[in-house]
Structure 1
Amino acid sequence: MQNGAHILLVDDDPDLLRLLSLRLTANGYRVTGVGSAEAALARLSVELPQLVVSDVRLPEKDGMALFQQIRTRHPALPVILLTAHGTIPDAVEATTLGAYAYLTKPFDAKVLLERIEQALSLTAPAPVHGGGDESWREEIVSRSHAMAELLAEAKLVAASDASVLIRGESGTGKELLARAIHRASRRAKAPFIAVNCGAIPEQLLESELFGHVKGAYTGAVNSREGLVQAADGGTLFLDEIGDMPLLLQVKLLRVLQERVVRQLGSDQGRPVDVRILSATHRDLDAAMLEGQFREDLYYRLNVITLTLPPLSERREDIGLLATRFLHALAAKYQKTVTGYAPDALEALTRASWPGNVRQLYNVVEHVCALATSPLVPLSLVQRALRVPSLEVLSYTEAKQRFERNYLVQLLKLTDGNVADAARLAERNRTEFYRLLQKYDLNAAQFRGDGSPVAPERQQ
């Protein structure tokens, strides 16, 4: 049970309204009781509760009309309907349109409490943590304790210019957190520039970050500023920093130390004022021990660490996220999908989610594309949850998987001859050896005197 959760109770029977208010208050809920649909809508305009419990038969505007207006104005707000025998068909129709549940009078109070607790645990709207202006974190949908603590830390960190390293599994929303920190900082009106260090080829990454002058390399027909200069006055977010090549790590360290950036091919430096946020799903401590990440750069970037929890550790947020994604995708695809059947939402909440929020989005997109009724059924969610893991890989993960498999096939084809494999790949041997080292591949294992490695490895 969620102690203190706010419930709006709507019933024109004053005795029943008083009795239910007392019972819910005794169970730790904060209750606002009103006797009509008009009064309920007035209360909703003043304060949004976490759940509405309404009788279907109300004077003037009935509970069905109230439900439809709530669904239009506040689509993520769960509604439980109380119905007499004669209004059961209306209530059944309401559940197909997105009402969480309906109970027939006279109902067992214990059953009502169970339905309320289930609705709040799965679909209750996120409360505002900490008060004040929360627009800085508007993209982050959450009401879990773990995320509340993290966001409180992030807002404190945002007030400084300290470098922040954001850790977390793939798909947990590291860039969203970085954007939120930028919006809460004094740099909010300046640029936020994001670059994925693992998605840009090594030979282009230096030019992308630092820019180049005309003639710096073949094809550089014009001078061009880099992303560091573009972020001047604002925030530069370096995603997957653990994939940055060692040579560029040295140059980035120099920029952080000197606050000056030099374009590729230029001897002149330009002062820059930029805050660095970085993110990784790799173990940088292990990377440092293996000589793949510079210790001095690590301590420059890791002044403050924020760690995003995996989705499996913030299950209170799954219903919120699934509902937000469904409404956005329904609008995108112009589908009349309004919600999930209760058992479908419960299945989403109990799933393992190894791909985290990114995987959840993909599953919701799957069910939205195939939905033929306003309410997503359990069978469709179960089908989507069996989607192969390839569909929830990020671009970087898919690229790494392809690169490793490509190298394995080349080494098999050439019986572990690095010179031949490099020639087929049209790469010099030094670069080819670096690629082998990046993916822990040993050419000797393909020469008949070792055991060939498996063609795939989970990143």
Structure 2
Amino acid sequence: MDTSLVSDQERPLLYVDTTGSRSTQLSEIIAEHGWRVDRVDTFQQAHQQARPKDYRVGIVHLEQVETADLLAADDLFARNKNTEWLLLTRHRCLDESDLCQLIHHACYDYYTLPLDDGGVSSLVTTLGHAYGMASLSKQLTEGHYDDYHMVGTSQSMLKLFSGIRKVAAVDAPVLIRGESGTGKELIARAVHERSSRAGKPFITVNCGALPEHLIQSELFGHEKGAFTGAVQKQIGRIEAADGGTLFLDEIGDLAMPLQVNLLRFLQEQVIQRVGSTRDIKVDVRVLAATHVDLDEAVQAQKFREDLLYRLNVLQLRPPALRDRDDDIELLARFFFQHFRGEGHGKIKGFSKQALQAMTAYDWPGNVREMINRIRRAVVMCEGRLVCPMDLGLVDGFVAKDVMSLADARNVAERQAIENALQHCRFNMSKAAKTLGVSRVTLYRLLAKYEIGFDDSSMVS
């Protein structure tokens, strides 16, 4: 939980009243509902008051639409983006397009004056909702995640965070086993940053991305003239990580000849540059990661068993996203906030259907896939809320990158037919009546969508 959250009895609210009326009645009513109302009369005072404070909710009271006030309000909103703003104004002022545009782009909500008892009650409720949304945004950006944006509150992630802290406290090799896209490099960086080697280099080698004829030189370095093109001495990745951490990503793709050299380094903590016979002592902690089942690779004689024993001293296993249902919405909102600036100004968040689709989806590409889908959705979304189609998801299944209206209708029509058949226990007459079509049309649709079932269950 975000321990920076203040209690309900201490919720601060900035009230900017530019009317000069000095009326305190509304402020007193709001205060009676558990708010600490800090009232100012000018936007200049508002800037001074807001700067050292952490206001999650603010009210701006405008009785007249003056250009200077609109510019000042826009500046206040821009400088305090973490605050959810409500605007109070007169109904006649809504005829001014500049004010409507300001409300539309920068405010959580607005109310027209005067407020009756029902309006005041609604305002107080809205303030509570706005405070909750601001608090959620704060949690997404400051809490509920470990180092390097590893977001999660599920039991599997809390267990992972605990494991990171434990292995960071010692200096033994760590093997990180997990599916692609689960954040294995983020875990390795978190281990490094929490360790005693945090101030030293963190060097990454993707063993599956480097050509086999270059990887030995990349890992161990080479002397000048060691091979054609070696015009000068080069320090290898292992030597460059001296005093720090070497992260070997996709270690399961490392060629067998290189596995022998790596094993010698792990055993003796010495290397030889290509073209040299001199041993160089290197102090490096090795972290390795793989999506390959190394036990099976050993059985298939594609990975050395003795190297696996050396690497697998300590082990961390990031969970797949499909096993983290409790984190889906938290992750989605976190990445939405991260990429929100790349979309249009009107976009507010996810529709209920989008959240349901993300929860139902299996996420074969894990968190990396979620990041890509959400970033694309934020950029391409034309409405206020991201919908399943923006994410490329329909009812938890992957949609085509571009789905025509005809395809969308077909998906909905097929689902309606199947639901009606189940509901009517495959009584064709009742199903047709429920769907509002004739039995002949229903039979045609069954053929069209290749919907089949056991003839014994069908009732005419």
Classify the TM-score, shorter chain: 0.5 to 0.7
Counterpart position of 1:15: 28
Tell me the CA shift for residue 16 of structure 1.
2.5
8 Å Cα contact 1:55-1:81 kept in structure 2: yes
Alpha-carbon distance in 1 for matches of 2:304, 2:215: 18
Counterpart position of 1:416: none
Alpha-carbon distance in 2 for matches of 1:33, 1:360: 40
The Cα RMSD (Å) is 4.4
Tell me the CA shift for residue 168 of structure 1.
3.4
5+ residue gaps, structure 2, are 16-23, 113-118, 402-460
Residue deviations 1:9-57 (CA, integer Å, cap 9, x gap): 3456333222332xxxxxxxxx6543347787667645646xx233342
Residue deviations 1:348-398 (CA, integer Å, cap 9, x gap): 6852344333334333443455467xxx6336773343598999xxxxxxx
Tell me the CA shift for residue 238 of structure 1.
1.0
Larger Rg: 2
8 Å Cα contact 1:193-1:237 kept in structure 2: yes
Tell me the CA shift for residue 103 of structure 1.
6.9
Give TM-score, length-normalised by structure 2: 0.62
8 Å Cα contact 1:168-1:308 kept in structure 2: yes
Residue 86 of structure 2 corresponds to residue 81 of structure 1: yes
Counterpart position of 2:149: 140
- Which residue, 334, 342, 348 being the options, matches 1:320? 334
SS in 2 for 1:224: coil
Shift in alpha-carbon separation, 1:152–1:16, aligned structure 2, 3 A:
farther
8 Å Cα contact 2:85-2:109 kept in structure 1: yes
Q: In structure 1, give the amino acid aligned to 2:57.
A: V
SS in 2 for 1:97: helix
Residue 105 of structure 2 corresponds to residue 97 of structure 1: yes
Q: In structure 2, give the amino acid aligned to 1:57.
A: H
Alpha-carbon distance in 2 for matches of 1:153, 1:64: 51
Residues 40-439 of structure 1 mapped to structure 2, 5 A cutoff = 45-46=51-52, 48=54, 52-57=56-61, 69-74=76-81, 77=82, 79=84, 81=86, 83=88, 86=91, 93=101, 96-97=104-105, 99-100=107-108, 105-108=119-122, 124-128=139-143, 137=147, 139-140=148-149, 142=151, 144=153, 147=157, 150-151=160-161, 153-214=163-224, 216-217=226-227, 219-311=229-321, 313=324, 314-315=327-328, 316-327=330-341, 330=342, 337-338=344-345, 340-344=347-351, 347=354, 351=358, 352=361, 353-367=363-377, 369-370=379-380, 377-378=384-385, 382-385=389-392
Alpha-carbon distance in 1 for matches of 2:94, 2:286: 58
Shift in alpha-carbon separation, 1:111–1:34, aligned structure 2, 3 A:
closer
Alpha-carbon distance in 2 for matches of 1:389, 1:206: 43
Percent of paired sites with the same residue = 36
5+ residue gaps, structure 1, are 22-30, 392-459
Residue deviations 1:201-242 (CA, integer Å, cap 9, x gap): 223222211123455455545443321111112111111122
SS in 2 for 1:278: strand
Shift in alpha-carbon separation, 1:190–1:4, aligned structure 2, 3 A:
closer
Q: Answer 1 or 2: higher relative contact order, Cα 8 Å, separation at least 6.
A: 1
Q: In structure 2, give the amino acid aligned to 1:35.
A: R
SS in 2 for 1:212: coil
Tell me the CA shift for residue 269 of structure 1.
1.4
Tell me the CA shift for residue 158 of structure 1.
3.0
8 Å Cα contact 1:326-1:339 kept in structure 2: no
Number of residues paired by the alignment? 362
8 Å Cα contact 2:251-2:290 kept in structure 1: yes
Tell me the CA shift for residue 148 of structure 1.
5.7
SS in 2 for 1:225: coil
Alpha-carbon distance in 1 for matches of 2:111, 2:72: 18
